[in-house]
A and B are shown apart, each in its own frame.
Chain A
Amino acid sequence: MPENILEFEQPIAQLEAQIAEIKRLTAVEGVDRGEEIALLEAQVEQLRLKILGDLTAWDHTQIARHPKRPYALDFIRLMCDDFLELHGDRLAGDDGAMVGGIARIGEQQLVVTGQQKGRDIHERQRRNFGSARPEGYRKALRLMRLAEKFGRPVVCLVDTPAADCSVAAEEHGICEAIAHNMRDMFLLTVPIIVAVIGEGGSGGAIGIGVGDRILMLEHAIYSIIPPEGCAAILWKDPKRGPEAADQLRLTAQHALAFGVVDEIVPEPLGGAHRDVDATARALKDAVCRHLDELSAIPVEQLLRQRYERFRRLGPVLDPRAAGQAACDGRVDGDGAEPAR
């Protein structure tokens, strides 16, 4: 029986256990109960479609945080033909919560970077649970500069509960690190593809979250605050996370509707952990497709589009802009924008 059964998966798991038990008895007692098994298996399939096809925001949150969910290095290993990890921010240290290096997909050389969570308790500590420190953000930016220098695109894999907020992080300027990453990513003269692969945790996520295309895995979440934190503030009760998750509109579907992400990359039924290879293949296909598109765009246009892509996020009511959308992404004085 698989470990780490999520709450909403319980009914499925119970039926599956029942089937396994019948199969075991069949083997022991030598009685053929094939019909019964077939019936139950059909039931499981129906149940699976019903439950997994209609997940709540909280269910998505659980899948996004699933301990067996593939992490950045898993995706890098499966998507890239070649990966050489590079370390250090050249200033203070090497952050285990942020990994990165040079990689190759087919003929395409690129830089990949992303937050990395840990599998066991030791790795989790070393990775700081995926909460990157200032050193991590600076390492990521340094690697992006390396990509820029050689005209290689950048792929950022976002998976973090939040940026590190320890005393050391404050001392070393976590705010400065995140802010400068964002600013300089708008000036980076090579294509950037961002993929939210698990938890898109607030400032921690956006610190490597600026790009020309923002992709999001189907069950990943992207939120300004963890649902538990939101519940603690709203109702003084962190246990009301499920309600808060719903209220925060943190699913990939919502992010797509807001225009925050451009494409949702489908996951296998039940989540990426059910078939890691298939998920990595789907993400790789999407990344390659967008890289092809982006590589054809002249750099000036690329940067202008990147600017405008974020410029139009968060429309407001503007009574003076009579009849015109409040923020239509126009950059005054930058001239006409060639159609893409």
Chain B
Amino acid sequence: MPNGWFRRRKQPDRAASARAQDVPEGLWQPCTRCRELLFTPELERNLKVCSRCGYHFPLSARQRVSLLLDPDSFVETDTDLETLDPLHFPRYLERLAHYREVTGLKDAALCGEGTVEGIPVTLAVTDAGFLMGSMNTVVGEQITRTVERATDRGWATILVSGSGGGARMQEGLLSLMQMPKTSAALARHHAARRLAIVILTDPSMGGVQASWGSLGDVILAEPGARVAFAGPRVAQQAGVQKPPPDYQTAEFCFRHGQLDRVCPRRELRDTVARLLRFAAVPVRSAHRGHPVLAR
């Protein structure tokens, strides 16, 4: 019954968007993907996942922290680092000022420490709402410090990418150098046999994905998140044609063995906690680690 099938799909959509214009702002909102009208308090209870189609709404870095960490356990660190704008890039400082206002963050990452079911971790989150979560000198420094702090304390670290912008063009070569810098910190963390968990959210791409975004002992991704090396513009320029329908999504990466799990938001915290418990062995009784970097 193709006709009925189509009608059923389309009618609520139209009705939903029509109704969306009448309701008081904030109380109801349409789902970005399926346009279903969602009752906001219900959506919040559902961790901002559409109850109809499962679409994962974007979370801010702060919402991400409260999703993952034990309530009130978060202590923010390195909050007020600022870029030196090394290239004096045109209009860059204006754009930074704009995004600072919009997100309440100094730059694209929020980092600190806290606990997950009582287990201490350091954590850094990049916020896709701030210049596409791209990694500049500040974000690179924050990620590096977050990992180093975990290594030095013998903790696990959790890195959450919402970095669709990769390494940030406006800081040029020095943004690029944050790729090896953060990878170095993870090398040291790895050599010291500490756990690194990477969580990929929409979108996770480019230079971030080709550095710390791929360096978790375990890599989780939210359903539907775009995860890739080349952003659509770059891919198009490179002449990529007829890609598969789920190209550059978490599901695509999972199919190709690049992710451990596509993990619905509701299950993230528990999955992380289980990983942390697994890795929380007294390290002295484990292997002694890399002969050179581990202490």
The answer, among A229, A320, A327, for a CB contact under 8 Å with B80, is A320
Bound together, the chains give a CA A223 to CA B241 distance in angstroms of: 26
Report whether A248 and B177 are in contact in the complex, using a CB–CB cutoff of 8 Å. no
Most chain B beta carbons < 10 A, residue from A203, A248, A332: A203
Residues on A with C-beta less than 8 A from B144 are 311, 327
> Interface extent on A, as a size class?
35 or more
> Would you call A187 an interface residue if the criterion is a C-beta within 8 Å of the partner chain's C-beta atoms?
yes
Given A224-B173, A258-B174, A311-B184; A299-B292 close (CB under 8 Å): yes
Report whether B235 and A165 are in contact in the complex, using a CB–CB cutoff of 8 Å. yes
Report whether A186 and B212 are in contact in the complex, using a CB–CB cutoff of 8 Å. no
B219 shortest CB reach to chain A, Å: 9
The answer, among B152, B235, B238, B252, for a CB contact under 8 Å with A332, is B152
- The chain B residues found within 8 Å of chain A, CB to CB, are 78, 80-84, 86-87, 89-90, 136-138, 140-141, 144, 148, 152, 167, 169, 171-181, 183-188, 190-191, 206-207, 209-215, 228-230, 233-235, 237-238, 240, 243-244, 247-248, 252, 256-258, 290, 292-293, 295
Given A167-B244, A170-B230; A315-B210 close (CB under 8 Å): no
A225 shortest CB reach to chain B, Å: 5
Given A183-B186, A234-B90; A224-B169 close (CB under 8 Å): yes
Bound together, the chains give a CA A250 to CA B169 distance in angstroms of: 12
Report whether B178 and A314 are in contact in the complex, using a CB–CB cutoff of 8 Å. yes
> Would you call A313 an interface residue if the criterion is a C-beta within 8 Å of the partner chain's C-beta atoms?
yes
Report whether B237 and A229 are in contact in the complex, using a CB–CB cutoff of 8 Å. yes
Which 6 pairs, one residue from A and one from B, show the smallest C-beta to C-beta distance?
A165-B230, A314-B137, A179-B214, A182-B183, A186-B187, A313-B177
Residues on B with C-beta less than 8 A from A229 are 234, 237
B88 shortest CB reach to chain A, Å: 9
Residues on B with C-beta less than 8 A from A209 are 180
Bound together, the chains give a CA A222 to CA B174 distance in angstroms of: 11
Report whether A165 and B292 are in contact in the complex, using a CB–CB cutoff of 8 Å. no
Report whether B173 and A255 are in contact in the complex, using a CB–CB cutoff of 8 Å. yes
Report whether B152 and A333 are in contact in the complex, using a CB–CB cutoff of 8 Å. yes
- The chain A residues found within 8 Å of chain B, CB to CB, are 163, 165-167, 169-176, 178-180, 182-184, 186-187, 189, 202-203, 206-207, 209-210, 222-225, 229-230, 232-234, 247-250, 254-255, 258, 260, 299-300, 303, 306-307, 310-311, 313-320, 326-327, 331-334
Residues on B with C-beta less than 8 A from A306 are 184
18 pairs from A and B in contact (CB 8 Å cutoff): A165-B240, A167-B243, A170-B247, A171-B256, A180-B215, A187-B187, A187-B190, A187-B191, A203-B176, A203-B229, A209-B180, A250-B172, A311-B184, A313-B178, A314-B137, A317-B82, A317-B84, A326-B81
Bound together, the chains give a CA A232 to CA B191 distance in angstroms of: 41
The answer, among A186, A222, A331, A332, for a CB contact under 8 Å with B173, is A222
Q: Number of A-B pairs whose CB atoms are under 8 Å?
A: 203
Given A165-B235, A233-B169, A314-B137; A175-B247 close (CB under 8 Å): no
Report whether B148 and A179 are in contact in the complex, using a CB–CB cutoff of 8 Å. no
Report whether B215 and A316 are in contact in the complex, using a CB–CB cutoff of 8 Å. no
The answer, among B87, B184, B186, for a CB contact under 8 Å with A248, is B87
Report whether A186 and B256 are in contact in the complex, using a CB–CB cutoff of 8 Å. no
